[in-house]
């Protein structure tokens, strides 16, 4: 049945959902990938679409920005609509040396400064990691492409005002990118015994502002990450 945030009915979603943050990007992905995409929910302008991709059912739904917003939609998809796997497709800011705008990061895990996963196991620093089945399928599809990196990211609650020395230290520790959703998605999937992955395009670099993509490029230059995400979703 419908929830306060999703107006769909049972059976409206495929077992696999691609989840960008931006509703416009969700509509663009659905139009590009799905045969006769069907709008199954549009509460608060967060569109959700279901159709077939190469004969297999697939859904696309936006998450909005930040871990609290994603947590609402991911939890309801997993608990009310029969969704088994969610693959976040989005952007990240580059951190570690060797990453550059246009690269794709398959996030093996996600550090976070949020308290969002602390309730999962009080007293333990929970490791928010991707599902192995999706991670391995994505990495296998990417092959030896040097523009595809597999490693950790950091999921922030704040877009502005993060301590510069902390950002530098995360880069030194090999953190490939910074974004705002993956840790919560991985925690929810672990808690509910579902599958999750984040496949991210580096849209700018925190230590090299000359690499910044324009807003238009952020909406359109994600074909490689999208192909990897689809391969994982339908594996």
Catalytic residue among 145, 204, 208, 212: 204
Helix or strand run (H / E) with residue 31: helix 23-33
Closest CA to 201 of 192, 186, 212: 212
Q: Which two tokens stand for residue 54?
A: 């190469």
Distance CA(192)–CA(228), nearest Å, equals: 24
Closest CA to 64 of 82, 48, 85, 84: 48
Tell how far CA 129 is from the center of its chain.
12
| 204 is a catalytic site residue | yes
Helix or strand run (H / E) with residue 227: helix 223-233
* Active site residue ranges: 204
């Amino acid at each position: 049945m419908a929830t306060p945030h999703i107006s769909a009915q049972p059976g409206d979603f495929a077992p696999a959902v691609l989840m960008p943050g931006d509703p416009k990007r969700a509509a663009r992905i659905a139009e590009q990938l799905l045969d006769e995409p069907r709008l199954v929910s549009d509460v608060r302008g967060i569109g959700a679409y279901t159709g077939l991709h190469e004969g297999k059912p697939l859904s696309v739904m936006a998450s909005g920005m930040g871990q609290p917003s994603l947590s609402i939609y991911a939890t309801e998809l997993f608990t009310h609509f029969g969704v088994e796997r969610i693959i976040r497709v989005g952007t990240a800011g580059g951190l570690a040396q060797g990453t550059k705008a246009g690269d794709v990061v398959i996030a093996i895990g996600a550090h976070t400064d949020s308290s969002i996963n602390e309730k999962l196991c009080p007293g333990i620093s929970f490791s928010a990691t991707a599902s192995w089945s999706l991670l391995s399928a994505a990495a296998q599809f990417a092959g030896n492409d040097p523009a595809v990196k597999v490693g950790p990211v950091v999921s922030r609650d704040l877009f502005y005002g993060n301590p510069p020395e902390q950002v530098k230290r995360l880069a030194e520790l090999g953190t490939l990118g910074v974004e705002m959703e993956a840790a919560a998605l991985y925690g929810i999937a672990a808690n509910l015994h579902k599958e999750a992955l984040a496949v991210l395009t580096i849209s700018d670099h925190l230590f090299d502002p000359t690499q910044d993509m324009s807003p238009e490029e952020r909406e359109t230059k994600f074909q490689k990450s999208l192909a990897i995400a689809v391969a994982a979703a339908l594996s």
